[in-house]
Amino acid sequence: MQHLIKEVKLHDESYSFLTGSDYPEDRIELMSKLNIFVGENNSGKSRLLRSLLSNELDYVPDSSFIEDYNNFVESLKNEFECYFQKVGIDIKHFDKIYKTLNEINQIKYIKESTNLYRNLSQLEQHIKVLENNGNISTGGISNPVIAKTLLQILGAKKDIFKGDLEDCLKLPEFKRIYIPILRGTKPLKYIDDKKFDYEDFYGIRTRKDYFNNSDEISNKIEVFTGATSYNEIKYFLLGDLKERKLIARYEKYLSENFFDNKPIALIPSRSNGVITVKVGDEKERPIYEMGDGIESIIVLTMPLFLNKGKNLLVFIEEPEKLLHPGLQRKLIETLLYEEGFEDYQYFITTHSNHLLDITFDFSKISVYTLRKKLDEGTHDEKEPKFLIENLSQGDISALELLGVRNSSVFLSNCTIWVEGITDRLYFRHYLKLYFEYMKNKGEEFTEFKEDFHYSFVEYGGGNITHWSFLDKEDHPINVNRLCGKLFLITDKDKNKDGRHEELEKKLGDRFCCLECKEIENLLSKKVLLEVVKDYEKGKSIPDDFEESDYKDKPLGKFIDGKLGANRTRKASYAIEKYGSTVSDKLGFCQRARNYTIEWDDLSEEAKEISERMYRFIEQNNK
């Protein structure tokens, strides 16, 4: 059985999880494949990570396993009870069966140490012993007849698991990997002028501070600091064919995900005692001359790659350390989607506003804020309590905790300016489909990377007047000094005071005004029908309209008018106070992206804008 953790019990009583109820919970809920913990310094993030890491897990999986098991137990006990009542026999006559059945109970959490199959196996064995008591009867019924009925009941109830019971009840064994803030591939100590001591001093320090005990869980924790990387690469390169191929695949993985498909070679150099790296046609250089980002990527990904196919729980302190925003995005993508990482689950702390900003673009991510609260009273040795809260996708409070700015604009070659978060999500998705479309055509084509070659900036609609595109203020913000070349996209309905004409005059072909009312009106008829059908739980909207019918109309009001009273969703699709635009803009956007699967799902105007964005990016990355 393989699954991810959806809820986990908090063993450290200093922590509690805030829900909508009046009382904090002793468990963290709503977990995903990637779980990010954010908060101010000394808010308990790292301590929480180590608590989850070093305690036995009591958890709820992201499957129906607990519900299925509890239904099985309840049904089994009820059937046994009904049978013995029917034949008028007290089950206590069969002492071993009675005691074992009482030890089979429903569960709230899965515990790592639990063997759910053991008691069921013992119950089956006790019944089979009864089956062999051919000359003995109880209550006028022979024991083999009783046993046969009980085995039939047990066999019928097993079918709920649709497979071998022992295999179905076998719980996954999680391997834990901890990547601390103290990390790096370079050895720290000389033995003499020509040799290094490759002992993992970072790992020793980390274990001494946080895991200095000999209990079973602590011994299962692998602390990976990167200090062993030199010897690990050397070991595999000098190993058998299988081991050498593993390193070759890792180099290919680095090449494809982080180095634009340039060949990568990792060599444990004898001459200087460190890993040397060769990228493409560049000269081979020691890792300390390559930039800290490359070293950081190796430390973060090597233990993941070497454990492919296992059930892995990965705990990382501040993975953004030393990484360019573009590499941060690529790291998140590879954590979530790399083949062989399907059974990995991640728990990370961060101070990176950019890393949090990236979470808007992916599912499978949960974000939690932590804050510290001291006991009330006048004493000066107060015990801190830590409050954990889950943030819904799109919640900006976590970014505010970090004083967020879209800092990647300083590091990209050009920027695409859009009005808000949903505009960014739509246009990013359209660009992705354009990249896929061009690749499938087989023509010569460059697939540019966000936060390397370009970035999106949200300017907030009416705030455009504060920038130096327009001379509306005495001291406008100098956008060229801030982020260089830009491409500006604006809604048609924002043309106030002749603003669009001035923008077009100022920016030329780098200005794009939607021909439709706003971003949602760009959706094709096909996608719009699917989105409304999703909201209406499968019930279709009347399709007697064309894209031109809603091009210049408030889309929420248009949908309400088409549905009339014949609808499943109770809420209106329009927000009157905002000009009857669509309500639930983020949810609407997420559904629209899910149904916009290929290039031909886009409207003609959406295709045209996507091509313009690409040409702009291409021009500024020559």
pLDDT, residue 411, reads 58
Strands 5-9 and 285-286: unpaired
Percent over 70 (pLDDT), the chain: 88
Query: Three-state SS for 390?
Result: strand
Count CB atoms within 10 A of the CB of residue 527: 21
Angstrom distance (rounded) from CA 259 to CA 598: 27
> Is 273:196 a contact under the CB 8 Å cutoff?
yes
Strands 264-268 and 275-279: antiparallel
Angstrom distance (rounded) from CA 536 to CA 81: 45
pLDDT, residue 578, reads 64
pLDDT at position 394 over 60: no
pLDDT, residue 541, reads 73
**Interval 105-122: pLDDT, tens:** 999 999 877 888 899 999
pLDDT, residue 473, reads 46
pLDDT at position 397 over 60: no
pLDDT, residue 420, reads 85
Cα distances from 289 to residues 75, 250, 286, in angstroms, run: 66, 21, 6
Name the band, by pLDDT with cuts 50, 70 and 90, for residue 474: very low
Tell me the two tokens of residue 256: 């494809």
Question: What is the average pLDDT across 55-67?
Answer: 91
Angstrom distance (rounded) from CA 416 to CA 394: 20
**Interval 279-306: pLDDT, tens:** 999 999 999 888 888 899 999 999 999 9
Segment (H or E) for 370: strand 365-374
Angstrom distance (rounded) from CA 183 to CA 208: 15
pLDDT, residue 250, reads 94
- The more confidently predicted of residues 307 and 476 is 307
The vertex-112 CA angle with 109 and 114, nearest 5°, equals: 80
pLDDT at position 235 over 70: yes
pLDDT, residue 217, reads 64
The DSSP result for 555-578, as a single string, is HHHHHHHHHTT--S--S-SEEGGG
pLDDT, residue 482, reads 40
Name the band, by pLDDT with cuts 50, 70 and 90, for residue 478: very low
At position 425, the amino acid (one-letter code) is L
pLDDT, residue 214, reads 55
Sorted by where each starts, the structural domains of the chain and their CATH numbers stand as 1-57+311-401 (3.40.50), 67-169 (no CATH), 183-192+223-309 (no CATH), 407-513 (no CATH), 525-595 (no CATH)
pLDDT, residue 443, reads 78
- The more confidently predicted of residues 420 and 402 is 420
pLDDT at position 47 over 50: yes
Angstrom distance (rounded) from CA 371 to CA 127: 55
pLDDT at position 20 over 90: no
pLDDT at position 549 over 70: yes
> Is 34:363 a contact under the CB 8 Å cutoff?
no
Count CB atoms within 10 A of the CB of residue 33: 21
- DSSP class of residue 542 equals P
| Closest to 365 measured CA to CA, from 351, 389, 348, 352 | 348
Question: What is the average pLDDT across 510-535?
Answer: 90
Angstrom distance (rounded) from CA 378 to CA 385: 16
pLDDT at position 51 over 90: yes
pTM of model > 0.75: no
pLDDT, residue 314, reads 97
Residues in contact with 497: Cβ distance below 8 Å, sequence separation at least 6, in sequence order: none
Name the band, by pLDDT with cuts 50, 70 and 90, for residue 78: very high
Tell me the two tokens of residue 517: 């009312």
Percent over 90 (pLDDT), the chain: 40
Question: What is the average pLDDT across 541-563?
Answer: 86
Question: What is the average pLDDT across 246-272?
Answer: 90
Side by side, the strands of the sheet bearing 285-286 are 264-268, 275-279, 285-286
> Is 389:368 a contact under the CB 8 Å cutoff?
yes
pLDDT at position 406 over 50: no
**Interval 304-326: pLDDT, tens:** 999 988 999 999 999 999 988 88
Angstrom distance (rounded) from CA 534 to CA 541: 10
pLDDT at position 528 over 80: yes
Torsion 287-290-291-295 (CA) sign: negative
**Interval 122-170: pLDDT, tens:** 999 999 988 887 677 778 888 889 989 999 998 888 877 777 778 888 8
pLDDT at position 468 over 50: no
pLDDT at position 188 over 80: no
Torsion 359-297-432-500 (CA) sign: positive
> Is 17:28 a contact under the CB 8 Å cutoff?
yes
> Is 589:534 a contact under the CB 8 Å cutoff?
no
pLDDT, residue 559, reads 85
| Closest to 606 measured CA to CA, from 584, 614, 443, 494 | 614
Angstrom distance (rounded) from CA 339 to CA 343: 10
Angstrom distance (rounded) from CA 468 to CA 57: 55
> Is 25:33 a contact under the CB 8 Å cutoff?
no
Question: What is the average pLDDT across 510-529?
Answer: 91
Mean of pLDDT over the chain? 84
- Print burial letters for 565-589: b (CB count within 10 Å at least 16), e (below 16): eebeeeebbbbeeeebbbbebebbb
pLDDT, residue 476, reads 44
pLDDT, residue 496, reads 55
> Is 450:329 a contact under the CB 8 Å cutoff?
yes
